Amino acid sequence: MRKVRGLLKASHFIPSLIVSSIAFAFGVNYWWEGPAYVIAFTVFTGQLVVGWSNDLYDFADDQKHQRLNKPLVSGVVTEKYLRSWLIFMVPFSFVVNILGPLGFKGGLLYWLGIGCGVAYNFYFKFTFLSPLPFAVAFAILPSCIAISKDVTPPLWMWLGGALFGMAAHFINVIKDMEQDQVSGIKGLPQRLGTKISMLVAALLIVAGCTVVVQLFDLGL
Q: Please give the Cα distance from 203 to 171 (Å, whole number).
A: 12
68-122 pLDDT tens trace: 888 998 888 999 999 999 999 999 999 999 999 999 999 999 999 999 999 999 9
30 with 145: CB under 8 angstroms? Answer: yes
pTM of the prediction?
0.93
Q: How confident is the model at residue 66 (pLDDT cuts 50, 70, 90)?
A: confident
* More confidently predicted of 120 and 67: 120
Helical segments of the chain, H only? 2-10, 13-30, 33-57, 59-64, 71-74, 79-99, 103-122, 131-148, 155-174, 177-182, 188-192, 194-217
Sign of CA dihedral 82, 172, 96, 116: negative
Name the percent of the chain lying above pLDDT 70.
100
- Residue 131 banded pLDDT, cuts 50, 70, 90: very high
Per-residue pLDDT, 39: 97
> CA-CA distance, 149 to 104, in Å (whole number)?
11
Q: How many CB atoms lie within 10 A of CB 214?
A: 12
- Ordered by where they begin, the domains of the chain are 2-217 (1.10.600)
108 neighbors 98 (Cβ within 8 angstroms): yes
When the pLDDT of each residue in the chain is averaged and rounded to a whole number, the result is 93
Output the pLDDT for position 219. Answer: 78
Q: Flag the least confident range among 18-27, 35-44, 67-76, 125-134.
A: 67-76
Give the per-residue pLDDT at 65. Answer: 87
Q: Is the pLDDT of residue 181 over 90?
A: no
CA gap 17, 41 in Å, rounded: 10
CA distance 181 to 189: 10
Nearest Cα residue to 163 out of 119, 209, 118 = 209
- Look at residue 69 in the predicted model and tell me its pLDDT: 85
